[in-house]
Chain A
Amino acid sequence: MGKKIKVDPVTRIEGHLSIEVEIEDGKVKDAWSSGTMARGFEALLIGKDPRDASYVTSRFCGVCYSVHQMASARALDAAFGARVPWGGTLIRNLIMGAEYIYDHVLHFYQLSALDYIDIMAVADYKGNDKELLAVRDKIISLVKAKDTYPLTPRYAPDEFSVKDPDIVIHAVRNYLKALKMHAKARNMGAIWGGRTPHYQNIVVGGVTSYPDLNQVARFRTMLDEQAKFIEEVYIPDVLAFGTGPLWPLAKMGLGGGHYNYLSYGAFEKDPDGKELVFPAGVVVGLDPANIKVDPVDTNKIVESVKFAWYKDNKPVHPYNGEQIFNLDKKNAYSFVKAPRYDGKPMEVGPLARMIVARNKDLLGLVAKGAKPGAVARHAARAIETKIVVDACYHWLDELQSAMTKPGFKIHDTEHWDPPASGMGAGYFEPPRGALGHWIKIKDKKIENYQAVVPSTWNASPRCENGARGQYEESLIGAPVPDPNNPINVVRIIRSFDPCLACAIHIIDPQTNELRKFIIE
């Protein structure tokens, strides 16, 4: 029996997460991922006007709000029979593009970087760059004043931490730059979304924001600034770290997991939606030399509750679930349920998307010896941020051309009122991975609502056959030489960009009270 340690709370993520690992001979032997907060949004929606759903589900999460509005609006579009005009789709896509840019930059600098650098190394910077000297002096002044919060306390830097003063001081300078850049990226979304977090313009049938050319020009100018930062700062930083000081972690494949990947596909390039920026697909048991991508069959999705705080039930499709909440259940350890595809745990997110897309840049790194894992996840994020930036330019051009033609539309007004009955699914690929919302409408009200979100896939506990979730599996074998300093554990978990408030919106907390959950 190894030594068990718990990291609770796991910080610099969205939401409340607890990770327990068993360590033997300096390595993780077993792991348990536990979501520890729940609200019960789904129960709230039952009986409400269906149009409320896109507004309310945005509040699943204040980090990735817009993607829930998007998936929810898509589920409503399907249930209402609404056809979103190309103008509406373009504005939705541009807002989602801004979300990608902000989310990935925030994740790399604000949420992850501190795991990889010894920030105190800046004190040894010997160069004469004025900007960098100012950064150095700022940190030194904090140290002298004995007040370096929130940069400390921290887990102690280890053998893999970057200590070269030149590299670290650039990273800290860029950390401060990134604080402004991701705020500005959210401002791009606000041009049409009204404000962030929680946009106001995405509704069933399209969007509410009739665009003008000034807005297009403003978005383009702001996009130029973001594109420059991404190409000249973010991507070079990720590559410099990934192929430089972090190469040992990349080669080791720290945080690999099950090597199963799922992407629903997203972002139409043209009005008929035939070609997607991110293709859909499933990869089981990755062989990098010969990637076999299967089409997605959403009928193969089931959710297991064996180790979650719900009354026991066999695994069922989200459409047919039956939920009984049980806080006192033995062996249960999480509010997160365990979704499986064809019975298998899946990884969703940037790495999954780039593998399903057989992205050349990512596969180039793999060919050089990087194994899919924590470092590759950061690389995949940077690679796809550039893809999204390019797509934003394409959508802007399309919008500018479409809005100057007669008959330009942003909303399907014919289908604004809720149908007497209906059902629909909305799929999307947010920055964190595959997202699905399902709705059923009866008597013009929500009869049932269900979402399976990216962090439900990644953070899930064990399922029926005991197979670990992706976080748990990815921790196995990770080096933890000092149980009091489990820095590799948080490196791995944060590489997924966890979002726990999202993962656990779905409960029925009326203890021991059966509620049928039926959407056939």
Chain B
Amino acid sequence: MKEKRAERNLLQMVEAHGINRRAFLKYCAATAALFGISKSKFMTSLAHAMETASQKPPVIWLEGQDCAGCTIAFLGLLNPPVSSIILDKISLRYHETAMAAAGHTAEEAFEEAVKAGGYVLVVEGSVPSADDRFCMIGGRPFKKILEEATANAAAIIAVGACATYGGIPAATPSKGIGLNKALPGKAVINLPTCPVHPDHLAGTILYFLANGKAPELDKIGRPVMYYREVIHDNCRRRGHFDAGRFLMDWNDPAQKDWCMLMKGCKGPVTNSDCAVRRWNDGISFCIDCGGVCMGCAEPGFYSEMTPLYTAESETSKRIVALRDAGMFTKKNS
């Protein structure tokens, strides 16, 4: 009963704001799907958040040694549409790739938002540890800007492999490091994968806004709701792995759906819900296109995953050993 009342109150409220009931329910259902929770439960918490928050919560998005891939991934969010998040749910104070401002106008917007505090800080890209000068913005080292921004942040979210654990830049001579090393001791929500999954990011931001706290995290700071399961356990090629059928020739339609282990798949030791959630509005994901899982949700990406397209990487050797030891039988996995 309680939930029903909350739903009604919220609907009256949004109708007063000119959003019709159907559109709002659709929005809520899509948002709830991000969390994998029931619609009514989510609406109760969202109702509370909307009723108590007098203005849109500010978000600062910083880019360090990045490729903007996480930004593009986030802009690809269709359900709920990213425009509704940017314009209706958050106040995006600073984002180099999206904001209208440039130069000193942009820098002032950053300073004002930091001074006011209470924002969600999203960080994309690694921090160069070999020399600060490998990443300069507005004439200042990215590292310094990051430290300033963390001071008054309500929550810090690292997006993508680079910002979480260093990713590919970690293996370059600029020695990129993730926030785990750049901000030791700080509470950071880690959303790895290269790039970040837009659902993971939108869901985490909205979870924080609805509940006022981070979702439950695993030992390496990843939300359990997205990274609990091993890709392998939900892979549609799993039956072929168990039966020992491995794809060797991409031209052979008979092998088309066989297991990708011999081409370097790291799915058996990678935690993420990619195989269930899939990517790009559910169209596909890495393993479905005849590609392999490169383990981009794990801290060992990229150095422990190379050579990528063989079963000879450190990670692949570990998988093969585990398989030979019978560790992937249904009972144990």
Kindly list chain B residues whose C-beta atoms are within 8 Å of the C-beta of A9: 96, 102-103, 106, 137-138
A interface residues, tally (CB under 8 Å): 88
Pair A56/B302 contact, Cβ less than 8 Å: yes
A413 contacts chain B at the CB level, 8 A cutoff: yes
Kindly list chain B residues whose C-beta atoms are within 8 Å of the C-beta of A39: 65, 128, 134, 168-169, 172, 174, 176
Least CB distance from B225 to A in Å reads 20
Kindly list chain A residues whose C-beta atoms are within 8 Å of the C-beta of B171: 44
Pair A62/B71 contact, Cβ less than 8 Å: yes
Q: Which residue of B lies closest to A490 (CB)?
A: B102
> Quick one: which of B56, B101, B103 contacts A147, CB cutoff 8 A?
B56
Kindly list chain B residues whose C-beta atoms are within 8 Å of the C-beta of A104: none
B95 contacts chain A at the CB level, 8 A cutoff: yes
> Quick one: which of B64, B81, B263, B306 contacts A48, CB cutoff 8 A?
B306
Given contacts A7-B103, A147-B55, contact A12 B75 (CB under 8 A): no
**A409→B252 CA distance, assembly (Å):** 8
User: Which of A23-31, A137-145, A239-247 lies at the interface?
Assistant: A137-145
A186 contacts chain B at the CB level, 8 A cutoff: yes
Least CB distance from A255 to B in Å reads 16
Q: Which residue of A lies closest to B168 (CB)?
A: A59
Pair B284/A191 contact, Cβ less than 8 Å: yes
Pair A59/B97 contact, Cβ less than 8 Å: no
Kindly list chain B residues whose C-beta atoms are within 8 Å of the C-beta of A78: none
User: Which of B82-90, B150-158, B179-187, B208-216 lies at the interface?
Assistant: B82-90
Kindly list chain B residues whose C-beta atoms are within 8 Å of the C-beta of A65: 67, 69
B interface residues, tally (CB under 8 Å): 89
B66 contacts chain A at the CB level, 8 A cutoff: yes
**A155→B194 CA distance, assembly (Å):** 34
B276 contacts chain A at the CB level, 8 A cutoff: no
Pair A62/B251 contact, Cβ less than 8 Å: no
Kindly list chain A residues whose C-beta atoms are within 8 Å of the C-beta of B86: 150
Given contacts A142-B87, A190-B280, contact A149 B93 (CB under 8 A): yes
Kindly list chain A residues whose C-beta atoms are within 8 Å of the C-beta of B101: 11, 150, 152-155
A510 contacts chain B at the CB level, 8 A cutoff: yes
Kindly list chain A residues whose C-beta atoms are within 8 Å of the C-beta of B65: 37, 39
> Quick one: which of B66, B71, B75, B91 contacts A179, CB cutoff 8 A?
B75
SS class of chain A's interface: helix, strand, loop or mixed? loop
Pair A180/B78 contact, Cβ less than 8 Å: yes
**A43→B169 CA distance, assembly (Å):** 11
Pair A509/B289 contact, Cβ less than 8 Å: no
Kindly list chain A residues whose C-beta atoms are within 8 Å of the C-beta of B55: 145, 147
Q: Give chain B interface residues in 112-156, CB to chain A under 8 Å.
A: 128, 130-131, 133-139, 142
Kindly list chain A residues whose C-beta atoms are within 8 Å of the C-beta of B300: none
Pair B66/A62 contact, Cβ less than 8 Å: yes
Q: Which residue of A lies closest to B283 (CB)?
A: A190
The total number of A-B Cβ pairs within 8 Å is 276
**A59→B284 CA distance, assembly (Å):** 20
Least CB distance from B248 to A in Å reads 8
Pair A37/B136 contact, Cβ less than 8 Å: yes
Pair A509/B174 contact, Cβ less than 8 Å: yes
**A37→B82 CA distance, assembly (Å):** 28
Least CB distance from B332 to A in Å reads 28
User: B208-246 interface mask toward A, CB cutoff 8 Å, 1 = contact, 0 = none?
Assistant: 000000000000000000000000000000000000000
Kindly list chain B residues whose C-beta atoms are within 8 Å of the C-beta of A187: 76, 280-281, 283
> Quick one: which of B77, B78, B100 contacts A152, CB cutoff 8 A?
B100
Least CB distance from B247 to A in Å reads 9
Q: Which residue of B lies closest to A36 (CB)?
A: B136
B328 contacts chain A at the CB level, 8 A cutoff: no
A97 contacts chain B at the CB level, 8 A cutoff: no
> Quick one: which of A8, A52, A200, A206 contacts B250, CB cutoff 8 A?
A206
User: Which of B7-15, B28-36, B39-47, B290-298 lies at the interface?
Assistant: B290-298
Pair A150/B306 contact, Cβ less than 8 Å: no
User: A127-144 interface mask toward B, CB cutoff 8 Å, 1 = contact, 0 = none?
Assistant: 000000000011000100
- What would be 11 A-B contacts, judged by CB atoms less than 8 Å apart? A12-B98, A16-B136, A39-B176, A40-B169, A62-B73, A142-B87, A149-B91, A183-B281, A186-B76, A196-B76, A207-B250
User: Lowest 8 A-B CB distances belong to which pairs?
Assistant: A62-B69, A200-B291, A195-B279, A208-B290, A49-B307, A194-B289, A190-B280, A62-B67
